[in-house]
Amino acid sequence: MALFLLLLPPLFFFPSLATLPILFPRAPQSLLANLSESNKYPNLPYSAHYFPQQLDHFSYQPKSYSIFYQKFLMNSTFWERGEPIFVYTGNEGDIEWFAANTGFMMDIAPKFRALLVFIEHRYYGTSKPFGEKSYESADKLGYLNSAQALADYAVLIRSLKHNMSAESSPVVVFGGSYGGMLAAWFRLKYPQIAIGALASSAPILQFDDITPWSSFYDGVSQDYKMCRIIDGFPPEVDILTKVFSAASLYYNYSGSQSCFNIGYEADVHGLDGWNWQACTEMVMPMICSHKSMFPPSAYDYKEFGDQCKKTYGVRPRPHWITTEYGGHNIKQVLSRFGSNIIFSNGMKDPWSRGGVLENLSSSIVALVTAKGAHHVDFRSATEEDPTWLIEQRTLEVEIIRSWIDKYREDEMI
């Protein structure tokens, strides 16, 4: 049951569950992202800082200059001035969780004498522009999108380098899942700031019809082979509604809530942020085909749009991500105009079907492991790690080293 719950994707799980879902799409990390203040990680080896971030980077209206305080974490234990800065591009959740579960960056920091920085995504964790009212209306949520988040990272990194007299330090960005998409897009959008990106389990091809809409559920069925295909399933699928309710109870991981309100008013679980993104730009259609162990389902864009309109007062822009980040043929764009990006994917991760699974050029590299799970390469190394995982991380380090060496060579010219 737990595995089934962790793999629930966004919006339109089954036809009878047509309301916006309670769970984040990018499990498992996001299920644990919004820990209460009392449950923070007391031994996390990072200091917390707050950066005065501009509300709107793309408008010159007076209200655009409003300031909110964006949280970022930093560890300078191994850093020497002029050495690299490794930045995690935060995704949909509390930044402490991502720092605590991205031990790979801490593991390799001594090898590079690197400064480590984890930046929290706007509207998540404590980085809410309007405080507890940030999710109360579309007027306030309108500043929550990937382009604003990338601009946040660019502004913060430039300021940090200036204030730490680190102008010559090369920056490499890291990210997993949605954060991996952000890392790859950051390298494309701001190549003058980051010399490279490691994008782990980043389904950047999950938009429009670049990847078949059934790929996620087909992947679950193929990878885990836990259940046979369901025959003669009742059309009303009431049993799945009950399973969904069970998932809602399961989500109360902290035990701090006496009950779970599956409505969307005053959501203490912090899920409205991602649902807003899914209802605006992060539109990833999903269906269940006859090849999966799940009952077949269709994707109804009109119904989806109507739900978003009813919930938030806005309709989705289903083609905006491909318009903003490289077009429908993003692979061609990456190969022609991109460089220095590692796309790592494990084929035990259903999201891998929406990832880059082949080398696109000499510097747009795909590292694919048959047994890998959702950004498992970002976890801390352990004595139990299999050989294939050790080799994958070693190769990632070698590639990052080559980027930095080339950066140093270019500086000498």
**By the 8 A CB rule, do 292 and 229 touch?**
yes
Can you name the residues that pair with 365 across neighbouring β-strands? 342
Please compute, for residue 217, the number of CA atoms within 13 A of its CA located in the half-sphere on the CB side. 25
Selected catalytic residue, list 177, 221, 292, 297:
177
Selected catalytic residue, list 94, 223, 349, 377:
349
Give yes or no for a cis peptide into 129 (omega within 30° of 0).
no
Instruction: Output the six-digit token pair for 254.
Output: 């902290």
How many other C-beta atoms are found inside a 10 Å radius of the C-beta of residue 70? 27
Phi and psi angles of residue 319, each rounded to the nearest 5 degrees, phi first? -105, 10
Closest-CA residue to 47 (of 187, 165, 178, 160): 160
**By the 8 A CB rule, do 314 and 304 touch?**
no
Burial of 28 (0-12, 13-18, 19+ CB in 10 A): middle
**By the 8 A CB rule, do 335 and 364 touch?**
yes
Number of H helices, E strands in the chain: 13, 8
Give yes or no for a cis peptide into 295 (omega within 30° of 0).
no
Q: What is the rounded CA–CA span in Å between residue 237 and residue 234?
A: 5
The helix/strand/coil state of 349 is coil
The verdict on whether 374 is a catalytic residue reads yes
Selected catalytic residue, list 121, 269, 374, 375:
374
Q: What is the rounded CA–CA span in Å between residue 343 and residue 48?
A: 29
Element (H, E) at 176: strand 171-176
Q: Which residues are catalytic?
A: 177, 349, 374
